[in-house]
Structure 1
Amino acid sequence: MKRLRASSYLGWDVYLLENDWMKISIAPQLGGRIIQLELAGHEFLYANKDLAQKWSGSIVEESDGVWRNYGGEKIWPAPQGWDHANQWPGPPDEVLDGGLYSIEERVDAVHGSEAFLVSPVDDFTGLQIQRAIGLIPEKSGVRIKAQFTNFSDRPKKWSIWPVCQLKTEDFGEEVEYQVVCPISEHTQYDQGFKVMHGLVNNPQYRRNKNHLLVDYSYLVGKVGLDTDANWVAYIHKKTGKVLVYRFLVEKNGTYPDNTSVQIWSQGKGLIHSRNRIIEYGNDKRSNPPYLEVEVLSPLVELQPKGSMTFEYEILTSTLSEYCDISDVNEFGIIEDPICVQEQGDGFQLKAKYGVFGKGILKIQLVSSSEDYAENAEAIFQAEVSPITGVSIDVNLGIIEWKKERKIVVGLFDEKNRFMGVLDEFIYNNKKVYNCKI
Structure 2
Amino acid sequence: MRVMRDGDGPDERIVLDTGVLRLTAAPGLGGRVLSLRLAGREFLYRNPRLLDADLQARPGVRLGPVEGPMSAWNNVGGDKTWPAPQGWNGPGEWAGPPDPVLDSGAYAARVDTAPEGAAVLTMTSGEDPRTGLWLRRRVSVAPGASGYRMELEAVNTSDTVRTWALWNVTQLDGEAPADRTGGVYVDVSGDGPHTVPLVAGDATPSVVEHAPGVLRVPAQDVVGKVGFPTAAGRISHVSGAGTLTQTFTPVDGRYPDEGSRAEVWLECPLERPLAHLGGLRPVDRVVECEVLGPLTDLAPGAGMSLAVGVELAAPHA
Structure 2 length as normaliser, TM-score? 0.86
Asked whether the 8 Å contact 2:134–2:157 carries over to 1, the reply is yes
Deviation, structure 1 residue 72: 0.1
Deviation, structure 1 residue 134: 1.5
Give the AA of the match of 1:180: Y
Does 1:198 pair with 2:205? no
**Cα separation, 2, equivalents of 1:60 and 1:15:** 17
**Cα separation, 2, equivalents of 1:77 and 1:132:** 16
The residue aligned with 1:72 is: 78
**Cα separation, 1, equivalents of 2:177 and 2:90:** 41
* Residues 157-194 of structure 1 deviation map (CA, whole Å, 9 limit, x = unaligned): 1111000000124x48863631100222222x1xx211
Seq. identity, %:
29
Q: Secondary structure at the match of 2:243?
A: strand
**Cα separation, 1, equivalents of 2:67 and 2:225:** 27
The residue aligned with 2:94 is: 88
**Structure 1 gaps, min length 5:** 322-437
Does 1:298 pair with 2:290? no
**Cα separation, 2, equivalents of 1:319 and 1:58:** 36
**Cα separation, 2, equivalents of 1:137 and 1:246:** 20
Give the AA of the match of 2:221: Y
Asked whether the 8 Å contact 1:147–1:308 carries over to 2, the reply is yes
Structure 1 length as normaliser, TM-score? 0.64
Assess, with a 3 A threshold, how the Cα gap between structure 1 residues 41 and 12 changes in structure 2: closer, same or farther.
farther
* Residues 184-209 of structure 1 deviation map (CA, whole Å, 9 limit, x = unaligned): 2222x1xx211212289857422223
Assess, with a 3 A threshold, how the Cα gap between structure 1 residues 247 and 30 changes in structure 2: closer, same or farther.
same
**Cα separation, 1, equivalents of 2:137 and 2:250:** 19
Asked whether the 8 Å contact 1:119–1:130 carries over to 2, the reply is yes
Asked whether the 8 Å contact 2:227–2:263 carries over to 1, the reply is yes
Q: Taking CA–CA contacts closer than 8 Å with sequence separation of 6 or more, which of the two structures ends up with the larger relative contact order?
A: 2
**Cα separation, 2, equivalents of 1:115 and 1:277:** 34
Give the AA of the match of 1:195: P
Q: Secondary structure at the match of 1:229?
A: strand
**Cα separation, 2, equivalents of 1:143 and 1:42:** 20
Give the AA of the match of 1:213: R
Assess, with a 3 A threshold, how the Cα gap between structure 1 residues 202 and 95 changes in structure 2: closer, same or farther.
closer
Asked whether the 8 Å contact 2:203–2:224 carries over to 1, the reply is no
Asked whether the 8 Å contact 1:111–1:134 carries over to 2, the reply is no
Q: Secondary structure at the match of 1:145?
A: strand
Q: How does 1:29-428 map to 2 (within 5 A)?
A: 29-52=28-51, 53-54=56-57, 58-59=62-63, 61-65=65-69, 66-110=72-116, 112-137=118-143, 139-169=145-175, 171=176, 175=180, 177-187=182-192, 189=193, 192-198=194-200, 204-209=206-211, 210-236=213-239, 238=240, 241-250=242-251, 252-257=252-257, 258-267=259-268, 276=276, 287-320=283-316
Please tell me the root mean square deviation across aligned C-alpha atoms, in Å: 2.9
Q: Secondary structure at the match of 1:230?
A: strand
**Cα separation, 2, equivalents of 1:117 and 1:172:** 33
Assess, with a 3 A threshold, how the Cα gap between structure 1 residues 307 and 279 changes in structure 2: closer, same or farther.
closer
**Cα separation, 1, equivalents of 2:117 and 2:168:** 21
Asked whether the 8 Å contact 1:220–1:280 carries over to 2, the reply is no
Assess, with a 3 A threshold, how the Cα gap between structure 1 residues 215 and 317 changes in structure 2: closer, same or farther.
same
Deviation, structure 1 residue 51: 1.3
**Cα separation, 2, equivalents of 1:203 and 1:141:** 28
Asked whether the 8 Å contact 2:43–2:173 carries over to 1, the reply is yes
The residue aligned with 1:377 is: none
Assess, with a 3 A threshold, how the Cα gap between structure 1 residues 58 and 220 changes in structure 2: closer, same or farther.
closer
Deviation, structure 1 residue 298: 1.2
Q: Secondary structure at the match of 1:96?
A: coil
Asked whether the 8 Å contact 1:177–1:215 carries over to 2, the reply is yes
* Residues 127-164 of structure 1 deviation map (CA, whole Å, 9 limit, x = unaligned): 11111111145531111111101111101111110000
Asked whether the 8 Å contact 2:109–2:124 carries over to 1, the reply is yes
Assess, with a 3 A threshold, how the Cα gap between structure 1 residues 156 and 280 changes in structure 2: closer, same or farther.
closer
Q: Secondary structure at the match of 2:49?
A: helix
Deviation, structure 1 residue 88: 0.7
Assess, with a 3 A threshold, how the Cα gap between structure 1 residues 202 and 100 changes in structure 2: closer, same or farther.
closer
Asked whether the 8 Å contact 1:219–1:269 carries over to 2, the reply is no
**Higher Rg:** 1
Q: Secondary structure at the match of 2:169?
A: strand
